[in-house]
């Protein structure tokens, strides 16, 4: 039995709270905390079980530590923004509780996706006998577990990994992002990068694309090469991988809007003086765009995220695609959220469950693929993200 503190009452926080509440045998008490406590209250009111709520500025580790002590949390699930990761890890170290997140730390002034800051906490978590589980969303998260499962059961060696993320949903807006707009746009507008033969090769943003035919009626879609954080940990933990890439679908309208916004400077992350004050354009843009948490009611269609793997089994070449398909409207019916929040929030709950039940044990900072994938894969099927394997 575990007392879980969930930080961040956004789209993902809503799903994590609903899903933790569905598993009272593991999470016997739940507290949802965020900067704006009214958002926590709305989510709590949707759930039959009592959910405690609290106002919290998680940039301040002393506030988080005080709340952890007051609520007597055993475990923190951080689904605020990547900017808060280190401050929340500091609070977990101070109070001696386990930590789970879904996105790697990013400094506010530099759109840089890498694990070095969080991996640097390994020895401190190890000394305290605590576990920090990094990247327990879908990608990173389930994609790491998929790779570990394929490595364990289907392949002797994996040579090539392509993570493919498709959102074939339509939210009815001219332009909106499916998760936090600031984090999303920072991720997409950075230079592309992939791994080949021990080296990282950079590409111009969104300059490489191909068409991939998605299963279950989604059909062919254009996918674009991006850099994504799980590539860093996966090539570290599976050194046999010779090539690793990440691909995502984007519609033409989305890309046209993004290009215009970039061209006029609206995606800049540096302060711009305006009428005697400093404005960060991407933060202002976030204020104009639809709140991703509000898209659930109008989004229709499916997502498909999976790992396309090439390698060998019993000395013979083998290729497989392991994936999940998720339906936006079904997610909304269950937890009032669209599938991007759902596919992130469910694995965050399952990762927390692995830690809370001691199914995954370890002292230090760990990525998902470092643990036995089997119990996590079993829970995906039970808690709303069933997976399928196609041998190609
Ligand atoms: P939202 O912007 O919808 O929600 C973030 C929430 O965090 C907001 O409610 C905000 O509170 C809260 N917050 C921000 N700063 C603070 C702070 N200093 N203290 C306390 N609370 C704070 O984002 P999403 O729910 O879409 O995404 C949440 C996380 O999930 C992000 O880190 C994102 O990168 C990650 N993610 C991971 C994915 C994966 O597959 N691994 C996929 C999608 C998202 P308030 O509203 O009160 O300001």
pLDDT in tens, 349-388: 999 999 999 999 999 999 999 999 999 999 999 999 999 9
For every residue of 212-277, DSSP letters joined together read: EEETTTTEEEEEEEE--THHHHHHHH-TT--EEEEEEE--HHHHHHHHHHHHTTTT--S-EEETTE
Pairing of strands 157-167, 272-274: unpaired
**Cβ of 267 less than 6 Å from ligand 1:** no
16 within 8 A of 77, measured Cβ to Cβ: yes
User: At 146, is the pLDDT very low, low, confident or very high (cuts 50, 70, 90)?
Assistant: very high
What's the whole-number average pLDDT of the chain? 95
pLDDT of residue 90: 98
Query: Is a pLDDT exceeding 80 seen at residue 125?
Result: yes
Does residue 259 contact residue 242 with C-beta atoms inside 8 Å? Answer: no
End-to-end Cα, the chain, rounded Å? 42
Q: Which of the listed residues 286, 316, 336 is the one where a domain comes to its end?
A: 336
Pocket test for ligand 1, best of 61, 80, 232, 343 (most atoms within 8 A of CB): 80
Q: Is the pLDDT of residue 110 over 90?
A: no
- Ligand 1, residues 53, 81, 291: which to mutate, most atoms within 8 A of Cβ? 81
188: confidence class by pLDDT, cuts 50, 70, 90? confident
Does any ligand 1 atom lie closer than 6 A to the CB of residue 344? yes
Q: What was the pLDDT predicted at 294?
A: 84
pLDDT score at 180: 82
Enclosing H/E stretch for 301: none
Q: Which of 80-84, 130-134, 181-185, 334-338 has the lowest mean pLDDT?
A: 181-185
Query: Is 223's C-beta closer than 6 angstroms to any atom of ligand 1?
Result: no
Q: Does this model's pTM top 0.85?
A: yes
Q: What is the DSSP letter of 191?
A: P
Q: Is the CA virtual torsion 137, 301, 170, 191 positive or negative?
A: positive
Query: Is any atom of ligand 1 closer than 6 Å to the C-beta of 104?
Result: no
Query: Which of 169-183, 221-235, 271-285, 333-347 is predicted with the least confidence, judged by mean pLDDT?
Result: 169-183
Same domain? 98 vs 164? no
User: Hey, is 198 helix, strand or coil?
Assistant: coil
Query: Does residue 296 line the site of ligand 1, with CB under 6 A?
Result: no
The CATH number given to whatever domain includes residue 113 is 3.40.50.720
> What integer is the mean pLDDT of 16-40?
98
What is the total count of domains within the chain? 2
On the question of pLDDT at 84 being above 90, the answer is yes
The region of weakest confidence among 17-21, 73-77, 115-119, 288-292 is 288-292
Looking at the domain assignment, is residue 36 inside a domain? yes
Pocket test for ligand 1, best of 6, 14, 136, 180 (most atoms within 8 A of CB): 180
Residues 312 and 172 in one domain: yes
**C-alpha of residue 71 to centroid of ligand 1, in Å:** 21
180 Cβ inside 6 Å of ligand 1? yes
Q: Looking at ligand 1, which residue's alpha carbon is closest to its atom 48?
A: 35
Same domain, 192 and 174: yes
Ligand 1 neighbour 248 (Cβ under 6 A): no
Distance CA 233, CA 145 (A): 12
DSSP character at residue 342: H
pLDDT band at 186 (very low <50, low <70, confident <90, very high): confident
Say if CB 236 and CB 255 are below 8 A apart. Answer: no
Considering the domain architecture, whether residues 243 and 370 belong to the same structural domain is answered as no
Within a domain: residue 84? yes
Q: In what helix (H) or strand (E) does residue 279 lie, and over which residues does it extend?
A: strand 277-279
pLDDT digits (tens, 9 = 90+) for 234-275: 999 999 999 999 999 998 888 999 999 999 999 998 999 999
What range defines the domain where residue 257 resides?
142-336
CATH label of the domain that carries residue 323: 3.30.360.10
Say whether both 149 and 283 belong to one domain: yes
Shared domain for 79 and 67, answered yes or no, is yes
In a domain, 29, yes or no: yes
- 55: β partners: 34
How distant is the alpha carbon of residue 248 from its chain centre? 14
| 201 and 332 co-located in one domain | yes
User: Do 323 and 304 form a contact (C-beta atoms < 8 A)?
Assistant: yes
Measure the CA–CA gap between 73 and 67, rounded to whole angstroms: 8
Q: Are residues 151 and 197 in the same domain?
A: yes
Q: Are residues 228 and 95 in the same domain?
A: no
- What pLDDT was estimated at residue 181? 83
Residue 80, ligand 1, Cβ within 6 A: yes
Distances (CA, A) of 55 to 37, 38, 173, 293: 5, 9, 31, 19
Compute, in degrees rounded to 10, the torsion defined by CA atoms 137, 339, 248, 311. Answer: 60
- Classify residue 294: in a domain, yes or no: yes
- Tokens 């694309």 sit on residue: 209
Ligand 1 center from residue 141 Cα (angstroms): 16
- Is residue 211 predicted with pLDDT exceeding 80? yes
- 8 A C-beta contact, residue 178 and residue 292: yes
On whether both 350 and 302 belong to a single domain, the answer is no
Q: How far is the CA of 8 from the centre of ligand 1 (A)?
A: 5
Residues 187 and 325 occupy one common structural domain: yes
Q: Are 55 and 63 within 8 A, CB to CB?
A: no
Residue 184 — pLDDT band, cuts 50, 70, 90? confident
pLDDT of residue 264: 96
Buried b (16+ CB within 10 A) or exposed e, 131-163: bbbbbbbbbbbbbbbbbbbbbeebbeebbebbb
With 90 as the cut, is the pLDDT of residue 287 above it? yes
- The answer to whether residue 105 sits within a structural domain is yes
Q: Tell me, yes or no, whether 175 and 304 share the same domain.
A: yes
Any domain includes 385: no
Q: Which atom of ligand 1 is nearest to the CA of 60?
A: 18
Position 111 pLDDT exceeds 80: no
CA atoms of 271 and 92, how far apart (whole Å): 32
Within a domain: 101 = yes
Decide if 194 is inside a domain: yes
Q: What per-residue confidence (pLDDT) applies to 112?
A: 76
């Amino acid at each position: 039995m575990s007392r879980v503190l969930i930080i961040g009452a956004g789209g993902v926080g809503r799903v994590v709270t609903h899903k933790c509440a569905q598993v009272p045998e593991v999470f016997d008490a739940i507290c949802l905390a965020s900067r704006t406590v009214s958002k926590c209250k709305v989510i709590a009111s949707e759930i039959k079980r009592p959910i405690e709520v609290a106002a919290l500025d998680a940039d301040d580790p002393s506030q988080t530590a005080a709340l952890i002590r007051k609520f007597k949390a055993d475990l923190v699930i951080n689904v605020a923004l990547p900017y808060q990761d280190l401050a929340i890890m500091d609070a977990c170290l101070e109070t001696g509780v386990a930590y789970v997140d879904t996105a790697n730390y990013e400094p506010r002034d530099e759109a840089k996706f890498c694990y070095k800051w969080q991996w640097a906490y390994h020895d401190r978590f190890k000394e305290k006998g605590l576990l920090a589980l990094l990247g327990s969303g879908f990608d990173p998260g389930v994609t790491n577990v998929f790779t570990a499962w394929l490595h364990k059961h289907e392949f002797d060696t994996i040579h090539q990994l392509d993570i493919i993320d498709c959102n074939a949903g339509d939210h009815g807006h001219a332009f909106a992002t499916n998760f936090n707009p600031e984090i999303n746009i920072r991720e997409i507008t950075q230079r592309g990068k992939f791994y080949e033969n021990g080296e990282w090769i950079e590409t111009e943003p969104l300059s490489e694309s191909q068409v991939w035919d998605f299963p279950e009626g989604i059909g062919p879609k254009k996918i674009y090469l991006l850099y994504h954080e799980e590539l860093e940990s996966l090539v570290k933990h599976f050194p046999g991988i010779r090539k690793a890439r990440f691909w995502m679908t984007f519609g033409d309208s989305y890309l046209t809007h993004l290009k215009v916004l970039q061209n006029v400077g609206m995606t800049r992350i540096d302060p711009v003086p305006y009428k005697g004050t400093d404005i960060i354009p991407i933060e202002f843009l976030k204020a104009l765009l639809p709140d991703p948490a509000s898209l659930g009611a109008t989004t229709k269609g499916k997502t498909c995220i999976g790992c396309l793997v090439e390698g060998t089994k019993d000395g013979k070449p083998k290729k497989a695609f392991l994936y999940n398909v998720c339906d936006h409207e079904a997610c909304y019916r269950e937890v009032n959220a669209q599938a991007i929040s759902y596919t992130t929030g469910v694995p965050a709950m399952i990762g927390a469950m692995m830690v809370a039940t001691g199914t995954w044990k370890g002292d230090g900072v760990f990525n998902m693929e470092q643990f036995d994938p089997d119990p996590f894969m079993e829970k995906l099927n039970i808690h709303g993200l069933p997976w399928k394997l196609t041998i190609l």
